[in-house]
Amino acid sequence: MSDAPRGPRFTELALGAGVRGVLTEAAGGVSPAPWAAPDGPGLDLGLNAGDDADRVRANRALLAGALGAPVVYATQVHGAHVREVDDPAAATLDSVGEADGLVTTVPGLALAVLVADCVPVVLADPRARVVGVAHAGRRGVELDVVGAVLDVMRSRGASPADVRAVVGPSACGRCYEVPDAMRDAVASLAPGAWSTTSWGTPALDLPAAVDARLRDLGVGHVVRDGRCTIEDASLFSHRRATAPGGAGTTGRLAGVVHLLDARG
Ligand SMILES: [Zn+2]
């Protein structure tokens, strides 16, 4: 196993012709525990989770190299502000600024959303050639960050019926326990979020809420990744890390999307 090739581990998304999207996993970077994968160093892509900033930048550089595209990252604040990125110079290994959604029409410029239990949403209109990402945690669902990203994509020529969306790995509705009043509050805004844990206590199903919202907005193709970050050790999970006996912190994985060069 020590001879196994190292590098960012990710799954490819089907977002239509001329678009590449991926979801990263914990493995394939340079970060040690508690930002590591079960079987080796971790691809922690988050600058605000206690990991060494230079290691995170090294992981970000590894991902950009593997994708063959520079990647733009925002400082996510559980809001609904969407930033339009039109300058490739925004793809530093640091942050373009505060935002919970990013949109671009620039070929070859990748956008990333970082999560560790929140829902990463990756969107593309392959016909209009507009792509976007959204960070949809509990607050993002309440604030409709997905609708905000789609609004900006529409302003750049996208048509919801042509948009393909992937609802990435997150805490699932059988694991994401919350207080009863919080479940009521979120479900009053996003009914699809109402859930119960596998042990019978109040919970939120954020991927179901995001899926329902995308369909309400008329998005033509919605795919659920289905993996639960809390249950799947190959993914980063804040809840798992902060549970009794956990390491206290963990890394961040990414959903990434970019338009392929028109010639490519
Ligand atoms: Zn789960």
Q: Is residue 42 part of a domain?
A: yes
Question: What pLDDT, on the 0 to 100 scale, is given for residue 261?
Answer: 85
CB 79, CB 86: distance < 8 Å: no
Question: What pLDDT, on the 0 to 100 scale, is given for residue 6?
Answer: 73
Rounded CA-CA distance 85/2 in Å is: 40
Q: Is residue 163 part of a domain?
A: yes
| 163 Cα: distance to centroid of ligand 1 (angstroms) | 27
Tokens of 214: 């995308």
| 54 Cα: distance to centroid of ligand 1 (angstroms) | 32
| 175 Cα: distance to centroid of ligand 1 (angstroms) | 4
CATH number at residue 244: 3.60.140.10
What are the φ and ψ backbone dihedral angles of 135, each rounded to 5 degrees? -105, 105
CB 116, CB 236: distance < 8 Å: yes
Q: Is residue 24 part of a domain?
A: yes
Q: Residues 134, 137, 139, 141: is their CA dihedral positive or negative?
A: positive
CB 229, CB 235: distance < 8 Å: yes
* Helix and strand element counts for the chain (H, E): 6, 16
Q: For each successive 10 residues of the chain (264 residues), what is the average pLDDT? A: 69 97 98 96 96 98 97 98 96 97 98 98 98 98 98 98 98 98 98 98 98 97 98 98 95 98 63
Long-range contacts of 84-90 (CB under 8 A, 24+ apart): 84/152, 84/156, 85/109, 85/111
CB 47, CB 94: distance < 8 Å: yes
Question: What pLDDT, on the 0 to 100 scale, is given for residue 263?
Answer: 53
Q: Is residue 112 part of a domain?
A: yes
| 166 Cα: distance to centroid of ligand 1 (angstroms) | 18
Q: Annotate 21-40 with three-state secondary structure.
A: EEEECCEEEEECCCCCECCE
Q: Is residue 3 part of a domain?
A: no
| 27 Cα: distance to centroid of ligand 1 (angstroms) | 20
Q: Is residue 4 part of a domain?
A: no
Domain count, the chain: 1
| 137 Cα: distance to centroid of ligand 1 (angstroms) | 15
Q: Is residue 74 part of a domain?
A: yes
Q: Is residue 130 part of a domain?
A: yes
Residues 6+ apart with CB under 8 A from 134: 100, 101, 113, 120, 121, 123, 140, 145, 146, 148, 149
| 34 Cα: distance to centroid of ligand 1 (angstroms) | 20
| One-letter identity of residue 138 | R
What range does the domain containing 52 cover?
A: 10-259
| 125 Cα: distance to centroid of ligand 1 (angstroms) | 30
Distances (CA, A) of 14 to 20, 38, 208: 8, 27, 20
